[in-house]
A and B are shown apart, each in its own frame.
Chain A
Amino acid sequence: MRHLNILYFKHKTPEANARLLLAFVSIAVLLLVLPWPIALTLLNSVVLIGIPFGYFLVVLLFPALLVALLFWSADRQDAIARHLSEAEND
């Protein structure tokens, strides 16, 4: 099994680490989805492969980052859940 570093905050409990991870993911998701469509219209004067840059980010790059972030966090949430259940069995 792959080893994942899940306890980013060593002085906190695994439960607190799990909550912090979820909080981080939630904020990151909101940052990737929420305010950018308006803010990035400012960047639309820059064009990348024919697509206005702000548009490129919102429709293509941010969704790709979002999916990567979600899979990354799912791995860590699963690892924390395993860690917690092993601790319970001990």
Chain B
Amino acid sequence: MASNSPLKLSGQLLGMYIASFALTIFFAATLQQIGAPEHYVAVLMIAFLIGTWVFAGLFAKTMRLTVFHEAERAGVPFYIGQAMAAGLISSAIYILLAGEFYKNGIDGLAWFSGWVLGATMLGVLVAPGYASSRAVTLPEMFFGRDENRLFRFASLVIVILSCFLLLLVQFHATAIISQQFLGIPGPIGVFAGVLAITICLLAGGIQSLSIARAMIYPVIAITFLLPLSWMSINATGLPVPQLAFGIGALQPVAEIDAEMMDAGFALGKEIFSITSDGRLDGFNFLALIICLGAGISAMPHLVQHFGVFDTRAKARRGGIWAVFFLLLVLSAVPAAAAFAKLEFYTALLGLPVSELAVESAWLFGEGTANAGKLISICGQEVVELKQVIAACGGLPEYVLTARDITISSQLLPFAAVKFAHLPDLVMTIMAAGALAALWSTADGLLLATANTLSQDGYFRLFRPKSPLGVRLFMTRFLLVLIAIITALLAAWTAPSSEFLFTAAFAISAAALFPALISKIWWSGTSSTQLFFGMLAGFTVVVLLLFLTALGADFVPNSGDEFRLPIPLLTDRLMPINSGFIGMLVAFATIGILRQISGAKKVSVTS
């Protein structure tokens, strides 16, 4: 019965879990104090994360398919909102958003606004409709019990493709963060994550996933906000980085900029000027907000999570809590960029290159203390001082300016912590929080992929009469299979995270969003109209992605990509905005087909 659902116990669990997290941190600090090897702390944090997912799996285990798919529809909006926020945060704030604010100034706002728009549309426009449809997967939502196998197969492929691309990004980022900040080899980090997630999902499906994500959200928020609050207190005495980064970081940076200019030193290319124009023109800027918003609000792993609610009202509230919890973390991202800039300015600027080893010895540390990979000086990755001096023209007295130093914008929050000379433990905790964010997105993607393959592939397409027990087994089998394939691909290949991320959201925006919105809000849209709309959007977005992101050699960022101007609007279509064009085509296709073939007669209550 739903009254006994483990989801109802989320509140009590959360309190105990936060206490156990605090104990783990205390234990890690003690280990460090007594001089235990550095990687002990990293292993402890990874073990804590694995334990989180395994515990959630065992706590909410089930042998019933309906519980595995819908968690008895017993979701509590506040806690599912936390879980959704954990899924929404993902790798993006660590590897993308902060770097955008840092490198491209105002362009970061487009990503920020797109994220907020996506979460909002998810809660307001999608969640109530999806919950009331009683569907388990997106293809089921689109086509219900429609027997047309082609429609179902096509939507299944699109859903799986968008999930799989994003899943690869999460695990690839896991490998990088494990390697660089926890001193654990990338493949081991990936397999640890896959193991934890798979055990959790195998045991309880979406029920375990909801509990794991709801528990992990505070860890993600604390580990991201704590270092920033620390820096904020150091700079201004105020522990709220969202409010303090202006006086604490932006103003000092502006003053140093002015001093450097007066002293005749050039400014760097990567200027975190909040008022800079960025590189996006007006069209690409607005299209990016809309495309990212549409892509996020139609991502299968987020939409399918609303299947745990039994009413439209609860689903709506769950979505709105997700926006609230997302914004708590997201609003601090500009602060991460600003403090990174300040710390970088005060640590390195104006320093003779020969003094790097004395004044900034931390750059040349070993293991997890090695921050060299975060920056390059005079175009040279910081490994040995001799190499850096040679790269800067062989002059030991050469004074470093902003132009000589490039920070890895992909890992900017970590750079901020490193430059601020916070204890190594803080860096390790932040890295563990980043892994938690990555895994809490990956688990949803993995489950959405397995559920879609099992429910719409195996059950609807091949074995419509298979019993519930067999379907549950198939879902679990597919889950393990996909987890292994993804882990192998992420651990031993080096995919372009930027391209995969772009493609996943563009496909979701162009193919899934128009179908989802038409299905929910345009009553009478038939399966045929949805299918052709989806197909048109998908075809256009794939074609445009090849042209704008891959080019003739099918390799991202190789320089042979097509510019694809749109007269009067832009000189160059940004790859992710292929999704925007695809979305317009898909909506137009559905609209034209409705005009030609008419709307299906239905009785609808909204």
Contact = CB atoms under 8 A, between A and B. Distances in A.
B116 interface: yes
B95 interface: no
Nearest to B276: A41
Contact of A26 (B110, B124, B316, B317): B124
B289 A33 contact: yes
Contacts of B242: 59-60
A88 B250 CA distance: 58
A84 B330 CA distance: 37
A47 B113 CA distance: 21
A29 B120 contact: yes
Interface string A6-48: 0000000001001100100110010001111110010011011
B243 A49 contact: yes
Interface stretch (B152-160, B320-328, B447-455): B320-328
B399 interface: no
A44 B274 contact: yes
Contact of A67 (B109, B112, B290, B324): B324
Contacts of A70: 120, 123-124, 320, 323
Interface residues of A, number: 38
B320 A52 contact: no
Determine the main DSSP class of A at the interface with B: helix
B313 interface: yes
Contacts of B320: 67, 70-71, 74
A71 to B, nearest CB: 6
A37 B316 CA distance: 27
Given A25-B124, A41-B106, A60 B331 contact: yes
Contacts of A60: 242-243, 331
Interface residues of B, number: 41
Contact of A58 (B113, B293, B316, B317): B113
Contacts of A19: 606
Nearest to A73: B124
Contacts of A63: 116, 327, 330-331
A63 B329 CA distance: 12
Interface string B280-316: 0010011001100100000000000000000011001
A56 B109 CA distance: 11
Nearest to B311: A81
B603 interface: no
B246 A51 contact: yes
Nearest to A43: B275
Given A50-B246, A70-B120, A70-B323, A37 B331 contact: no
B124 A37 contact: no
Contact of B117 (A25, A34, A41): A34
Interface in B466-508: none
Nearest to A50: B246
B334 A74 contact: no
A57 B282 CA distance: 19
Interface of A: 15, 18-19, 22, 25-26, 29, 33-38, 41, 44-45, 47-52, 55-56, 58-60, 63-64, 66-67, 70-71, 73-74, 77-78, 81
4 shortest interchain CB distances as A-B pairs: A50-B246, A51-B246, A50-B247, A37-B109
11 contacts: A29-B121, A33-B113, A33-B117, A33-B120, A37-B106, A38-B282, A38-B286, A49-B246, A50-B246, A64-B327, A70-B123
Interface of B: 106, 109-110, 112-113, 116-117, 120-121, 123-125, 242-243, 245-248, 250-251, 274-275, 277, 282, 285-286, 289-290, 293, 312-313, 316-317, 320, 323-324, 327, 330-331, 334, 606
